[in-house]
Structure 1
Amino acid sequence: MARQENSDNPGRLSQIRQAYTMTQRVDPKIGLIVGGVGLGIFAVLLAIGFGIGHPIYLGILGFVLGLLAAVVIFGRRAEKAAFGQLEGQPGAAAAVLNNIKRGWNIQLVVAANRNQDAVHRAVGRPGVVLVGEGNVNRLRPMIAAEKRKMSKVVGDAPVIDIVVGNDEGQIPLKKLQMHMAKLPRAISGAQATQINDRLRAMGDLMANAPVPKGPLPKGARMPKGAGKTR
């Protein structure tokens, strides 16, 4: 067990250093702010401790509370910096969705085009959520096509579409995860799992559609998704 803990520590320290370096590029004063808050809380409680005759007790309390406050502030500013760097980049919404750990079955890039507009799918207790990122005018027909494709599979489950962005009617990237967490529950967990399995099976079926051998007849088109491998 001791060896395992020792092997994990360098990785954690490296992650903290990387997070700090990334945050400092966007927020150059992060070190002064975090250090100032931590030391300020420690100094105030230590001074109170000397005033009431308990410097050791309040000094320890000040150190713990100062460290906790510094960690919380660093975490929030690091998160803000990360979202700032992601925003506007292709795949930003996918990165946020990929970090959702519980309550959702996420399928990234169920539809995309050469302009890097993409639609992602999340299935959970609120129903089926289609999350689009990119140009809203190009996303609308893509989302509509996905809804038509899913209509026979999802039944009466709600299908919600979200476009990530900062314009009216869109959800900002930094609020995407919170917005999805607040969606009202409409179906059971068992129904969500069943719908997700059906949607995945439908996707596999379309991706593995057989391709006719030989040249295509004149005017014929290749089936969408045909010939793709996983």
Structure 2
Amino acid sequence: MAKSTRDPAAVKAAKAEAKAQRKAASKQRRSQLWQAFQIQRKEDKRLLPYMIGAFVLIVAASVALGVVSGGVFMLVVTILLGILLGGLVAFIIFGRRAQKSVYKKAEGQTGAAAWALENLRGKWRVTPGVAATGHFDAVHRVIGRPGVIFVGEGSASRVKPLLAQEKKRTARLVGEVPIYDFVVGNGEDEIPLAKLERYLTKLPANITVKQMDALESKLVALGSRIGPAAMPKGPLPGNAKMRGVQRTVRRK
């Protein structure tokens, strides 16, 4: 059987095209990051002082450490490490303050909880709008290591009956798998939008990833029998497109 051969010119062209695409994607990410920084800098007057202050303090500490350690080589190494660490800390400060700003703008808007859930970091299976009312109150389902989590948004008086209904319906299928439920908001016993991800990550790990897959299959079948609920169509924050925030983890 003759071996198939590929045209070297075609292979070279394909590699060049792939390299060009990677460069274009990298350039676009840098452009988006710069735009996000410019927007945040204009809205957050403390951003630059905090970033510059953190960078200068870390570099100064690294220089002092190098001087104490003695030797030109150690001084150069500690300065370089200080510059890298200072840049990293400054970037982290930017990311945290930008994320805080995004959540602050989204808070109270229709569909904000669904948006936040779909941008969770980690292995979460999110299904927005498993139940809803005509007033755009909604219940979203999350499957994770803690088990099944129902997140309600909207008026607590209207959402809580929906949460109880979905919890009862799901309990028939999942057996002893833990089920959690809460409402996103700023009222009593509610979870603020900005603390939603932190709250979820603090829940105990009760099931494995393999059990999550089986659980998701069961609940997808349940959802298909019920029929999809109408999702809230209200506005979402316009500046929500920052790096790392757009990773959607929902399995379709």
TM-score, length-normalised on structure 2? 0.72
Instruction: Supply the distance in 1 between the matched residues of 2:62 and 2:211 (Cα, whole angstroms).
Output: 54
For 2:52, which of 17, 24, 35 is the aligned residue?
Answer: 35
Report the CA distance shift for 1:26/1:134 in structure 2 as closer, same or farther (over 3 A).
farther
Determine the structure 2 residue equivalent to 1:120.
Answer: 140
> How far apart are residue 129 of structure 1 and its match?
0.7
Instruction: Supply the distance in 2 between the matched residues of 1:44 and 1:72 (Cα, whole angstroms).
Output: 19
Report the CA distance shift for 1:69/1:115 in structure 2 as closer, same or farther (over 3 A).
same
Determine the structure 1 residue equivalent to 2:178.
Answer: 158
Instruction: Supply the distance in 2 between the matched residues of 1:34 and 1:14 (Cα, whole angstroms).
Output: 20
Report the CA distance shift for 1:33/1:204 in structure 2 as closer, same or farther (over 3 A).
same
Quick one: higher RCO (CA 8 Å, sep 6+), 1 or 2? 2
Report the CA distance shift for 1:148/1:58 in structure 2 as closer, same or farther (over 3 A).
closer
1:139 maps to a residue whose letter is V
CA offsets per residue over residues 61-110 of structure 1, 9 Å max, x none? 33223212211211221121122112111122112211224332210111
Instruction: Supply the distance in 2 between the matched residues of 1:163 and 1:131 (Cα, whole angstroms).
Output: 6
1:13 paired with 2:30, answer: yes
> How far apart are residue 44 of structure 1 and its match?
5.5
How many residue pairs were aligned? 210
Determine the structure 1 residue equivalent to 2:157.
Answer: 137
CA offsets per residue over residues 125-180 of structure 1, 9 Å max, x none? 32211001111111111112212332322222222101112233222212211221
Instruction: Supply the distance in 2 between the matched residues of 1:191 and 1:115 (Cα, whole angstroms).
Output: 35
Instruction: Supply the distance in 1 between the matched residues of 2:40 and 2:150 (Cα, whole angstroms).
Output: 31
Instruction: Supply the distance in 2 between the matched residues of 1:50 and 1:189 (Cα, whole angstroms).
Output: 50
> How far apart are residue 203 of structure 1 and its match?
1.5
Determine the structure 2 residue equivalent to 1:218.
Answer: none
For 1:191, which of 204, 211, 216 is the aligned residue?
Answer: 211
Instruction: Supply the distance in 1 between the matched residues of 2:207 and 2:66 (Cα, whole angstroms).
Output: 55
For 1:206, which of 214, 217, 226 is the aligned residue?
Answer: 226
Determine the structure 2 residue equivalent to 1:94.
Answer: 114
> How far apart are residue 49 of structure 1 and its match?
5.6
> How far apart are residue 4 of structure 1 and its match?
3.5
Q: Secondary structure at the match of 2:200?
A: helix
Contact 1:41 1:65 in 2 (8 A): yes
Contact 1:164 1:176 in 2 (8 A): yes
Deviation larger for 81-90 or 42-51: 42-51
Instruction: Supply the distance in 1 between the matched residues of 2:66 and 2:205 (Cα, whole angstroms).
Output: 50
Report the CA distance shift for 1:62/1:102 in structure 2 as closer, same or farther (over 3 A).
closer
Report the CA distance shift for 1:145/1:57 in structure 2 as closer, same or farther (over 3 A).
closer
1:60 paired with 2:77, answer: no
Identity %: 38
Determine the structure 2 residue equivalent to 1:219.
Answer: none
**Unmatched runs of 5 consecutive residues or more in structure 1:** 209-223, 226-230
TM-score, length-normalised on structure 1? 0.78
Report the CA distance shift for 1:63/1:151 in structure 2 as closer, same or farther (over 3 A).
closer
Instruction: Supply the distance in 1 between the matched residues of 2:85 and 2:48 (Cα, whole angstroms).
Output: 18
CA RMSD, aligned part only? 2.7
